[in-house]
Amino acid sequence: MGIDLSTVPAGSLIFGDTDLIGNITPIEPLPYVIETEADGTTWGDADAVVAEIRAQILDGEVATVSSYENREATVRIRITGDDGDALAQGEAALMAEINRGRNTLAWVPLLSGAVPGVFDVVYSVLDFVSEEWDLREKRRRQRTYTLTLACLPFPRTEQKVLIESLPVPSTSTGSGVTPTVIDSGNSTTNWVPQDTATAAAETPSWAGGATVVVLRRSGATRLRLSRTNLSAATGGRQFLRVTGWGLWSAIGGKVYAQAKIGFGQGATASTNVTPVAYTYKASTGRFDALLYLPSGLSGNRLWMIMDYTGPHPANVHHSALGIDEISWVGDAPFTSTTRQMSRTLPVYGSARTEGELEIRALASDGTTPEALGAHTLVYTRAAGAGIQPPLRTYRTNGMPVVADSTLVSGAREPLAGTTATFVVPADLVKPGNYQIAARLRCSDTNAQTLTVTAATSTTDASLLPSNTATITRTLNFAAASTWQFVSIGDLTLPTIETGHTAADLTLTIANNNANVVDLDEAWLFNTDDGQLSLFDTSGSGVSMLRIAGATLDRHQPSAWVGTADGAAVVNAGPRRLWPGSHEFAPGEVEVFTVTTSTARARAALRYWPRAHTHLVDLEAAGNVITWVDDDLTAAPSGTD
């Protein structure tokens, strides 16, 4: 629209380019004035479409809101003019806006501090109000109309928001590749136990061997330990790696591995450090964490905070946290390369919105576009919804692993005699439908039959009936010795629901012919919660992939490929191999991508924040916002 909403006063209502309140000075004087009467003006309601879910509850109904219908806004308009022709011209100005079909209705609320909101008008209708029309026209030189606008249910901001993920930590410079061990767990010097102020303290002990241990007998669900006087990083090393284990026991002696280890730095434990990579194996209680600290460790003090993550805190009896080793390392993740990454991006606003998700790759200089790779996989869902897709991190058995830094997971193994086995804590596997996909290579194009099994087990085997689910998939690889993505099949997981018992889900992947198929990485994608897409992004010039949701202008989702600097963008067309329809609900959305070549893929979200009827001032809330215009083919803004 032509009017810049940031310049209009509070209490303005603008339909397309037409001021409906009369408080904006027009560029050229008009023979009429259009005003809005508050009595008779309403924004309408966004009616919920409720889908009933058949349930067995005794009273009441179970239902869910599946979507919202358009709202019908009504504006009572009064046109005042010097003569009959002026009034007709005012009516013609309104008709001109209506004839545009799709339009916008911008409202700047009356109270100061409110931000303009824009309703997307799908269509509009004008009705002449015939009540006392002769008196109004003769005595007051006015005609009154009712303007009815069918709008999308939720208004939006004038411009779109662009959210970009942080750049991938670059690997260190210089010789800092080999780890520098700064605590090998063989002494209790500089280890400080739980703060004495809060609860009974336990002194860390060293039972021999290479682990420093702290044990609490008080039944508390949090255990803290800190190490002071750690040596600073040298040689450009930016990552701090901490390995150890954490376990709980219940009254009666059963030991459970249900813990999450958090980290802090500085004088108090309140300065959190979020690991860039963290794994905790439910089968052993071992954890492995990587912290990104390019500026070093504040105060040279590292805190380790262990929290109980099971559902029965009242049963906790003893707790034990052991640290094996702390070291400075130069390179990023140890169970994968950064070709597969998960990032969380905020979706501002209070209502669901359509948006565009862009994956682009830039070289280490931050400006040169870099090829994405032969394939790009994108999986999105609401943040915190469950297990991360990659399975190699849960691998417990298989053929000897060969390190290969050109692959997605950084390693490969043949599918042969010792079956590739992955053990996942069943707590992490939210019940639902999962698709198993893998990146595989076959040495020939003959038919291969892949078999995936899934079974749930607990510490007490007598509880469970046999519950193994199996998928078999027979296929011919399109080309020999070429890595490709394979969709193996769907599984309903977990195979049996487990309550509070610590249970594991064991997955195996095997091929009928030994030593013919190699496995790079396998993934578990929950398709009830998330959306999955796979694209062919082959071509040295393909450095950007954009996935757009359906909009009023383009009624179906679309996908585009192009260059990361936006110089060329074309419709993805047949490059879309697995189609997903990505949604962005308010809160945070987790974007997981796999790119087969670049290890520096970045994700960006571009959307209009939407609200129920009134928008929050995002910048006043403390967010740093990048505003962009709505242009599907425009270059993404900002470089590193």
Partner 1 sequence: MRPSIRLGTGNDRVWLSDVAGWGNLHIQTRWGDGGSGPWEATWEMTLPPLYRPRGLTTDIRVEIYVGSEEVFPGRLPDTDWNAGEFSALGAVREGEEAVAINGAGATTATPNTFIDAGISRGALTWVRRTSISAVSVADVDTTDGIHFIQPVMDAYADGAGLRWGVNARREVFASADPTTPAWYIIPGSGELGTSTDRMVGKLYGRWRNTAGTPATVTSGVGLPEVPVDLTTRGALTSTAAQSILNGIGSKAVSTKNFTNGLEVDSSQIISPGGTPAALHRVRAGQMVRCLALRDERNGLPWTDFVIGSTDWDVDARTISLTPIDAEERDLATFVEEAGGKLS
Candidate residues 291, 532, 605, 618; the one interacting with partner 1 per rule CB under 8 A: 532
Span 415-444, contacts to partner 1 by CB under 8 A: 431-433, 435, 437
C-beta closer to partner 1: residue 40 or 432 = 432
Contact between 31 and partner 1 per CB under 8 A? no
In order of 5, 161, 382, 616, 634, the CA distances from 158 in angstroms are 7, 10, 25, 13, 17
Candidate residues 22, 489, 586, 587; the one interacting with partner 1 per rule CB under 8 A: 489
CB of 509: closest distance to partner 1 in angstroms? 16
Candidate residues 47, 578, 587, 637; the one interacting with partner 1 per rule CB under 8 A: 578
Contact between 132 and partner 1 per CB under 8 A? no
C-beta closer to partner 1: residue 51 or 634 = 51
Residue 324 sits at φ, ψ, to 5 deg, of: -90, -50
CB of 476: closest distance to partner 1 in angstroms? 9
Contact between 467 and partner 1 per CB under 8 A? yes
Count of residues making up the chain: 640
Q: Judged by CB under 8 A, which stretch of 97-105, 337-345, 527-535, 626-634 contacts partner 1?
A: 527-535
Site string for partner 1, 66-105 (x = CB under 8 A): ----------------------------------------
Contact between 497 and partner 1 per CB under 8 A? yes
Contact between 50 and partner 1 per CB under 8 A? no
Candidate residues 132, 573, 623, 631; the one interacting with partner 1 per rule CB under 8 A: 573
Contact between 369 and partner 1 per CB under 8 A? no
Contact between 495 and partner 1 per CB under 8 A? yes
- C-alpha closest to that of 425 among 312, 590, 260, 263: 260
CB of 550: closest distance to partner 1 in angstroms? 8
State the alpha helices, DSSP H only, in 114-164: 133-140
Contact between 579 and partner 1 per CB under 8 A? yes
Within 13 A of 545's CA, how many CA atoms are on the CB side? 29
Contact between 633 and partner 1 per CB under 8 A? no
Candidate residues 525, 584, 592, 607; the one interacting with partner 1 per rule CB under 8 A: 525
Contact between 138 and partner 1 per CB under 8 A? no
- C-alpha closest to that of 192 among 119, 264, 98: 264
Q: Judged by CB under 8 A, which stretch of 109-117, 238-246, 415-423, 495-503 contacts partner 1?
A: 495-503
Q: Output the six-digit token pair for 619.
A: 């910048």
Contact between 631 and partner 1 per CB under 8 A? no
**Residue located via tokens 């450095």:** 543
Amino acid at 256: Y
Residue 55, judged by CB atoms within 10 A of its CB (0-12, 13-18, 19+), counts as exposed
Q: Which residues of 228-261 are buried (b: 16+ CB within 10 A; e: fewer)?
A: eebeebeeebbbbbbbbbbbbbbeeeeebbbbeb
C-beta closer to partner 1: residue 201 or 471 = 471
C-beta closer to partner 1: residue 144 or 495 = 495
DSSP, collapsed to helix, strand or coil, labels residue 595 as strand
Site string for partner 1, 548-567 (x = CB under 8 A): -------xxxx---------
Candidate residues 2, 27, 38, 56; the one interacting with partner 1 per rule CB under 8 A: 56
Contact between 285 and partner 1 per CB under 8 A? no
Please state, as a whole number, how many other Cβ atoms lie within 10 Å of the Cβ of residue 475. Answer: 15
User: Are 492 and 469 contacting, i.e. CB atoms less than 8 angstroms apart?
Assistant: yes
Q: Output the six-digit token pair for 474.
A: 């027979």
Residue 1, judged by CB atoms within 10 A of its CB (0-12, 13-18, 19+), counts as middle
Task: Kindly determine how many residues on this chain lie close enough to bind partner 1 according to the rule CB under 8 A.
Answer: 42
CB of 482: closest distance to partner 1 in angstroms? 18
C-beta closer to partner 1: residue 291 or 516 = 516
C-beta closer to partner 1: residue 447 or 585 = 447
CB of 555: closest distance to partner 1 in angstroms? 5
Contact between 461 and partner 1 per CB under 8 A? no
Contact between 51 and partner 1 per CB under 8 A? yes
Q: Where are the beta strands (DSSP E) in 284-416?
A: 286-292, 302-308, 316-329, 340-347, 355-361, 375-382, 395-397, 402-403, 411-414
Distance of CA 620 to the CA centre of its chain: 24
Candidate residues 38, 39, 54, 462; the one interacting with partner 1 per rule CB under 8 A: 54
CA atoms of 479 and 360, how far apart (whole Å): 27
C-beta closer to partner 1: residue 399 or 437 = 437
C-beta closer to partner 1: residue 138 or 555 = 555
Q: Judged by CB under 8 A, which stretch of 24-32, 305-313, 521-529, 585-593 contacts partner 1?
A: 521-529
**Going by C-beta distance under 8 Å and a sequence separation of 6 or more, which residues neighbour residue 35?**
20, 21, 22, 77, 78, 79, 80
Contact between 493 and partner 1 per CB under 8 A? yes
CA atoms of 564 and 426, how far apart (whole Å): 39
C-beta closer to partner 1: residue 278 or 434 = 434
Q: What's the DSSP call for residue 165?
A: P
- C-alpha closest to that of 456 among 446, 466, 443, 445: 466
- Give rounded-to-5 percent helix, strand, coil for the chain: 5, 45, 45
C-beta closer to partner 1: residue 234 or 474 = 474
Facing residues of 472 across strands? Answer: 451
- C-alpha closest to that of 619 among 107, 46, 6, 122: 6
CB of 589: closest distance to partner 1 in angstroms? 16
- Is the preceding omega at residue 294 within 30 degrees of 0, hence cis? no
User: Are 290 and 179 contacting, i.e. CB atoms less than 8 angstroms apart?
Assistant: no
CA atoms of 111 and 227, how far apart (whole Å): 53
Contact between 474 and partner 1 per CB under 8 A? yes
CB of 168: closest distance to partner 1 in angstroms? 26
Binding residues for partner 1, rule: CB under 8 A, are 51, 53-56, 62, 431-433, 435, 437, 447, 456, 467, 474, 487, 489-490, 492-497, 525, 527-528, 531-532, 534, 555-558, 571, 573-574, 576, 578-581
